[in-house]
Structure 1
């Protein structure tokens, strides 16, 4: 089975809720996706840059399943995020200090050049230069999937537009999906107004997974419903990383050859377990 290389941040996260839940934990999309994929049976490597303060994480026993060959340790501080949620777990605000992850783009491009046959997942978050990474993946013919983060999604979905149709799978929440539709429709209207043919950006996307809180998670294939799964009820204790956990688990089970319905059902359950009884690694 292909190695899943996950391009994105590993960070120190501080989550805050009105009822005083939350606290300090080790996070970042690349870690959550890779760890979920590894626990679901894939070989998963975060392609990330961390500082001296997180140089110890490959030795943490709860992270033993992760392939750390794509990790770069740089002099300086790791990325740090303060994330505020409301009582129901809806995102309110994010404050970021990117630290040494400012060097992530160069590290990711070097990894792609060395390992063009890896299967890639790109966590489209600042400070990554998303167009540069997606162009490199497309140029070398790599298979890849992508996701976004709502605070930066409007900008980065637009930045990713020329390569959206090349992705095997685009993972979004409901709000991000609406932004995705707007970008695709706007590009189509612009090309048609200019008298040009509708290009690859405006073709129906190969695959899109849409989460929507307690409502069914939908997997669309070329715009048609392929599979759906309603999350079981669970009182969320910590929602940070839930979408990333679903993404990593889904990608791993797909790589293992599970059917879309089975892979989605398994991934939804993994994400629910993550929110209901999280045991995050401490930074």
Structure 2
């Protein structure tokens, strides 16, 4: 069934991350919303491609074991270093501080605009994170017949939600956490939004359709090894299931379960380049 489902084109970053927790969990790993959303969608049976910019240091990713299942045709290879994130969390898994060097991702907006123009009828997911020019990308999408969904990242969510606000009623689905939902509610009339998935860590995730709660699911309890990327995993899984006509409640249950499994296992290591 999955082969008949349209590809999901995920606009966002792929990065080298360092995550830190007070109890010494974390460490160096692969990261980036475009990677996690695409991987989750692929695992849930929907072909997905990261619309991203990779630096020389991550040029080998498309051939790496476990990542070769992704469609890498929408990546741009650029000279320089990939985005790096230094993410500090508290014991509850809440982000305390994020330090970033965007590197070659400074070219992401231009790359994304070109990709949207080339595939105006595609289905997109836009990871509304810096350094993406959200106004330019969502504005371009609004000029096409493309379907699109969006998510945010709490450190930049307030600015990004305000930038995205004019186009959010046209989105099929928005993914936010509880804190981002409060910011969203201040920026737009949530009764105009067709589908908003609101996560709240280990607490119940809910789906609101035009302001009315239509589904909820409590993630199965798993000890959290790594929380960075859990929301992206939920989003990719949810979108894959919804694209096949799965009910909202079932898609949310599958998505929360996938996110719970994700946080319980070790992070994706940065694969070593192949030699020879």
Corresponding residue SS for 2:185: helix
Return the match for 2:225 from 237, 241, 255: 237
Return the match for 1:143 from 125, 142, 147: 147
Paired positions, count: 267
Counterparts of 1:154 and 1:219 in 2: how far apart (Å)? Answer: 21
Corresponding residue SS for 1:235: coil
Asked whether 1:31 is paired with 2:56, we answer: no
Deviations 1:11-46 (A, max 9, x none): 000001111111110110000000000011001000
The runs of at least 4 consecutive aligned structure 1 residues that moved more than 4 Å come to: none
Which position in structure 2 is the counterpart of 1:177? 181
Deviations 1:223-273 (A, max 9, x none): 111111011111101001000000000001111221111111001000000
Identify unmatched segments of 5+ residues in structure 2.
Answer: 272-276
How far did residue 279 of structure 1 move?
A: 4.2
Corresponding residue SS for 1:126: coil
RMSD: 1.0
CA contact (8 A) 2:197 2:208 kept: yes
Which position in structure 1 is the counterpart of 2:210? 222
Counterparts of 1:135 and 1:32 in 2: how far apart (Å)? Answer: 25
TM superposition score normalised by structure 2: 0.95
How far did residue 64 of structure 1 move?
A: 2.0
CA contact (8 A) 2:226 2:267 kept: no
Identify unmatched segments of 5+ residues in structure 1.
Answer: 186-201
Corresponding residue SS for 1:253: helix
CA contact (8 A) 1:39 1:65 kept: no
How far did residue 203 of structure 1 move?
A: 5.6
Counterparts of 1:87 and 1:261 in 2: how far apart (Å)? Answer: 30
TM superposition score normalised by structure 1: 0.92
